[in-house]
Amino acid sequence: MTDATPRFEQAPAPQGAAVRLLGEWTAAQFARPGLVRDLMRGLPALETGRGWDLTPAGLLDHVGAQLLWDHWGRRWPEPLQLSAPQRAVLERVAKFTTEREKPGRASWWTLYLGFGGSLLRALGHLRSFVRLIGMLTLNLGQMAKAPHEAPWRDFSGHLYRIGATALPITALVGGLIGVVLAYLTSQQLRQFGADAYIVDILGIALVRELGPMLGAILIAGRSGSAITAQIGVMRVNEELDAMRVMGISHSYRLVMPRAMALAIAMPLISAWTTIAGLIGGMVAADLSLGITPQFFMNALPDAVALSNLVLATVKSVVFGILIALIGCHFGLRVEPNTQSLGQGTTASVVTAITVVILVDALFAVLFSNVGI
């Protein structure tokens, strides 16, 4: 059986060494992994006096001709021996091959159009997100009128997966943050003899800011991505289209249970993360400054006002609803292909974390005089 693998050999010729092509130079042969790379790496360059003989090649299609034409630097070698069909293919490739446009500096008009496109895409996301908020409000009103028709089983399942399964990682991160914050703070307080104020610093920092924000960031990366991936897979598998055909509302059965579950789970996760951070900080304060756990527990209620707990709870509820809506928003916008699914999941996590930080900064500015 004749070997159809595209290859070459260098044979002596009267005017110098000639490159003879063997095998079949076709797209079917070049589909083998790594064949094109190895062949083009070993093929001699086009030089004056070195002839090329294509007649031994069994077949030559446009793919093989394009590879040869690009390897020759888009000029004809001299001398060149080839058959009439091979010459017709090469002449057709040479005629329709175009030069690649060299990337140049972007003009102000290109930058302006790029900025306008980005702005329109951002406005499209904002419009869809606002519509999702409106649909959630209407769905909550519908659930209040007919609570027996609400998807309570979905709600309980999401509450378990989002809340209960996240407790170990949030406790670990919260405890370590408390330890780090206590050790760094103790180095400064020891210089001024203000060891007792470590309770105030840890209490305000963890209860008011770090506890809710750390919990929200962890949930955004852990559960926000899962929400987007779940709904995105439903899009890829055409389950969302099937729900629409059956008259099942996406917002009622997919968005509302997740938003309700996160709105309830986030304050609990925030409190759990804060408690873990306080325990870690209490242990570190005892080891570094000699602040006993009993003194820490007795001084904590006086250091942290009740308004801080209320503010932290309200922030956690807002964080939970935003993370759920962002995850559902990007999940519903996934196109029926795996590449869009990956891009949507990444965009969901990045957007959720960014929004959490922005909203936390907004709360810090608006309620700067509350509980301090």
| Cα first-last separation, the chain | 88
CA distances to 157, 206, 314, 357, 359 from 362, rounded to whole Å, are: 32, 18, 13, 9, 5
CA distances to 39, 143, 157, 254 from 257, rounded to whole Å, are: 58, 11, 9, 6
Per-residue model confidence as pLDDT tens digits over 75-88 = 888 888 888 888 88
> What's the DSSP call for residue 72?
T
Q: Is the Cβ–Cβ distance between 324 and 135 less than 8 Å?
A: no
> What's the DSSP call for residue 78?
S
Task: Indicate the pTM of the whole model.
Answer: 0.69
CA distances to 11, 43, 75 from 48, rounded to whole Å, are: 16, 15, 12
Backbone angles phi, psi at 55, to 5 degrees: -65, -30
- How many C-beta neighbours within 10 Å does residue 28 have? 11
Q: What domains does the chain contain, in order, with CATH numbers?
A: 7-96 (3.30.750), 120-366 (no CATH)
Angle formed at CA 58 by CA 57 and CA 62, multiple of 5 degrees: 80
Residue the block writes with tokens 């209320």: 310
Strands (E), 228-295: none
Per-residue model confidence as pLDDT tens digits over 291-303 = 888 988 888 888 8
- Is the bond preceding 147 in cis, omega lying within 30 degrees of 0? no
Provide mean pLDDT across the span 337-342: 83
CA separation for the pair 295, 305 (Å, rounded): 17
CA separation for the pair 256, 135 (Å, rounded): 9
- How many C-beta neighbours within 10 Å does residue 32 have? 12
Across the strands, what pairs with 9?
Answer: 20
pLDDT tops 60 at residue 1:
no
Per-residue model confidence as pLDDT tens digits over 212-257 = 999 999 999 989 999 999 999 998 888 888 988 898 888 898 999 9
pLDDT tops 70 at residue 13:
no
